[in-house]
Each structure stands twice: as C-alpha cells, then as structure tokens.
Chain A
C-alpha cells in the first residue's frame, strides 16, 4: 500500500523557519517525482514545489521561490521542504504527493503549518 506521511508542521512566528518531512512507503520511492501542495484555510489547492526522482531537478511556485527549498534522500525514502522567512500567507495544510506523469496519484494526509505571532 502506497503511503506518504508528512510531519514537522507547527506554529511558527513570522520570519521563522520550519522543515517539513515526508516519509514514503509501499512503492519504489527513487522512481517517482514528488510534489508539495498546500491548501490555505478556505482556499483552493496550490502547488508549491516539485523534485524529480533523482533529485536533480526542482521547481518552485512564485510565492515561495527563494524562501523554500525542496530536497530528498532516496536512501531514507524521504522528501523535505525547508521553509524560511515564513509569512502569515504561508499558513496552510501542506501535502506531500506522488507524481505520476502529469498527475498526482497519491497524497499524504497533510501537516498543518500556522504562521502567527
């Protein structure tokens, strides 16, 4: 069974940093690209970042470019999202999601990040 389990979400002050983790199981992790997608309260889904299967290619949404960094450790079946200079508008549930061609075929349950003083 494919599983993606996010962790690391918490309450953080504006300007602070947080590192999210996503541990995968049930599939050949090193063969799949991974996305981070978020959903702010009352808003739609927003794609945040992408990392290729081998970790050589990364993309970021404009709203997080320069502040967030995606990485992965295929030996640990894990993907990470380092979030710096956090803003109130980064408050959201963050989902780790497996890419299959042009779709996201499996999602984690999400981890909540709240940016507030």
Chain B
C-alpha cells in the first residue's frame, strides 16, 4: 500500500448504529486530518492530530470521536449520527511543521457515508 488509504469506501448506517472509519498513511508523516465534504460546500476541517496529539477539533459534535493510536493510523468513531451527517469523509496527512513551505496535505480516497 502507498499513500493514504481509507476503509470502508462506502458506509450506510442507521442513526442508532456505531461504526468507525479507518485511515492509514504510508508516507512517514507526523500529522493527520479528518475533513468532511458535503455537496457543493468547501472541505470542512474536523480534526487535526500532530505527533499523535489532537490540536484542533473545530467544534465538531461529540457524536464524532477521533482516535490516533500512532502516527500512521487515524480513526473516526461514529455514534448516533443524523441524516445531515451524510457526506464524504476525507483523511489527509502531512509533515508538520512544514519545512519552510505550505502544508501540502496528501488525501485518501474518502469514505462515502450515508445515514438513514
């Protein structure tokens, strides 16, 4: 595997279910991110982990719970979601702090989540 991988690629869940999204990066980066992309809207940053510590959560509802057990893996635990949470969830990684340049983030293919 190379780059950033995400599983599952598609997920359909009911509002009472508990599920988890998984992300793995094979780039040796030390920062990982969760983004939400809804149709016709900008990518919304949800969580940032740098050196396995959460540094930003952007007021995300508590029904989304991230976990970063090491610098290569990132999870997003989902619990009692709402239909409006249906979206594409993207994981990204980067080298933080950037070595004098912009924070070039490498993205996974995303998980398409549908909440019924």
A joins B in a complex: no
Chain A residues engaging chain B, CB cutoff 8 angstroms: none
